[in-house]
Amino acid sequence: MTLQEEGKTAMFVAIDGKPAGILAVADPIKADSKAAIARLQSNGIKVVMLTGDNRDTAAAVAKQVGVDAFYAEVQPEDKAAKVAELQQAGEVVGMVGDGINDAPALALADVGFAIGTGTDVAIESGDITLMRGSLHGLADAIAVSKATLTNIKQNLLGAFIYNVAGVPIAAGILYPFFGILLSPVIAGAAMAFSSLTVVSNANRLRWFKAQQH
């Protein structure tokens, strides 16, 4: 197995202009990267890797972490172009990056996720800053976003039902049939209860914990 097939970048070393050896350089893959990527994929998210490494090295890394699609030998200025290409194909693109060369792509993506341990330029360009370097932070952020959106929909539905039921009664729709009018005291208490329900439901997000598979 060659060095590149092991996910390493090979560099030739010369002494006095004569080949003297080969050095292999590689960024270590974080222990939880494969599990985090599998978690994203299980949620229906297509994971694509953009890298400046050569194709053989990129293919080896992609295989180790479980990424099906990757673009190799991508120049820093071409990352934003790849994001735009995916968007033009109808994809909603979330870009994750931590370097200066990731900043244009982070700014162009539908949602830019900057790694908090990365450069200040990347953090400024992203929409969301992940406080840890693990990709599980990305999966957690998406899970929290989905839970928040679900909570908003629940509150809107509750407010809609409350108003559909309460406003006609407050307007006196029952009076011609049953002689019932809604007391201002009861109406005020009902409104307070409605607000309490919405706030309590939203407050549940404080205890939300994303499940890691």
CATH of region 28-135: 3.40.50.1000
The reported pTM is 0.73
The phi, psi pair for 21, rounded to 5°, reads 170, -175
Query: Is the pLDDT score of 174 beyond 90?
Result: no
Cβ neighbourhood burial of 165 (10 Å; 0-12, 13-18, 19+): exposed
- pLDDT tens figures, 81-140: 999 999 999 999 999 988 888 999 999 999 999 988 778 888 889 899 998 888 898 999
- What are the phi and psi torsion angles at 54 (to 5°)? -70, 165
In this structure, what DSSP letter does residue 131 have? Answer: S
Q: What is the C-alpha to C-alpha distance for residues 52 and 56, in angstroms, rounded to an integer?
A: 11
Enumerate the domain spans of the chain: 28-135, 139-207
